[in-house]
Amino acid sequence: MDYETINLTIRDGVAVLQLARPEVMNALNTQMRAEILHATGEAEKQARVLVMTGKGRAFCSGQDLGDRVNAGNLNLERTLREEYEPMLMALFDCAIPTISAVNGPAAGAGANLALAADVVIAAESALFLQAFARIGLIPDAGGTYWLPRQMGVAKAMGAALFAEPVTARQASDWGMIWEAVPDDGFEAHWQGRAARLAMGPTVAYRNIKKAIRGSYENSLSQQLALEAKLQGEAGKSRDFKEGVLAFLEKRPAQFEGR
């Protein structure tokens, strides 16, 4: 598929999905949401890790309020249910590890798109802004799901009510994201992180995601049962056999992902 609002490259097991509307700070329109959805599925089939980042000075400024497809007739509930929800669920359910490499401002739905990834790495100059209350709305695109889980109710409530920017360093300190790194080495850093995951045990990674996410809904006994089931699956994989053999032979493991 030819993309117009994003760039997708796949090399050495790493898929890089770049939001590519820099003239509007990579604002999300109908076409971009559809292309992110399609590209996520393509990456899941062809790569071992997916990285999402932005072109230009921003990661994503959120909903494009000037989107001509919806101009003058923006039905927020329909847009969220029919366009945002499939895109976000595709990222959330993606079988391979996902990284958001936040290169600049991430605002509104753009901030919450970033938080949909398994791991968020941000440049220190980046910021996250739940801008919704400034225009009389509530956080959407998963914001009310991600925020309290990742940085606690108190910080989530303040971020939503005051609609003030959260710096990358604050986001890291509060547990909202995995790490904030200096701008000078930002691209090389996330590329290294992605390469490491691309060489890792994909069955284990898939089951790690299932186990951690399942813990929110499970009792301890249910979670222990889930761990046992998923560990049983991982234990039957070629990756586990290779990992043990590499450990015994004191060499790096060469994982195949099956």
- What fold is seen in the domain 202-248? Lyase 2-enoyl-coa Hydratase; Chain  A, domain 2 (1.10.12)
pLDDT digits (tens, 9 = 90+) for 68-89: 555 456 689 999 999 999 999 9
| Per-position DSSP letters for 52-108, written without gaps between them | EEESTT-SB--B-TT-TTTTT---HHHHIIIIIHHHHHHHHH-SS-EEEEE-S-EET
- What fold is seen in the domain 6-198? 2-enoyl-CoA Hydratase; Chain A, domain 1 (3.90.226)
Higher pLDDT, 188 or 1: 188
Q: What is the pLDDT of residue 67?
A: 72
Q: What is the pLDDT averaged over residues 211-215?
A: 94
**pLDDT above 60: residue 42:** yes
Pick from 39-48, 112-121, 230-239, 248-257: least confident: 248-257
Q: What is the pLDDT averaged over residues 218-225?
A: 95
Nearest alpha-carbon partner for 90 in 47, 52, 44: 44
Q: What is the pLDDT averaged over residues 103-107?
A: 98
**pLDDT above 80: residue 206:** yes
Q: What is the pLDDT of residue 68?
A: 55
Taking the model in full, what pTM does it have?
0.92
Burial of 186 (C-beta count, 10 Å sphere; 0-12/13-18/19+): buried
**pLDDT above 90: residue 165:** yes
Q: Rounded to an integer, what distance in angstroms lies between the CA atom of residue 62 and that of residue 3? A: 19
Burial per residue of 130-151, b for 16 or more beta-carbon CB atoms within 10 angstroms, e otherwise: bbbeeeeeebbbbbbebbeebb
Contact, 54 vs 104, CB < 8 A?
yes
* Domain parsing of the chain, residue ranges: 6-198, 202-248
Q: What is the pLDDT averaged over residues 50-62?
A: 97
Q: What is the pLDDT averaged over residues 154-163?
A: 96
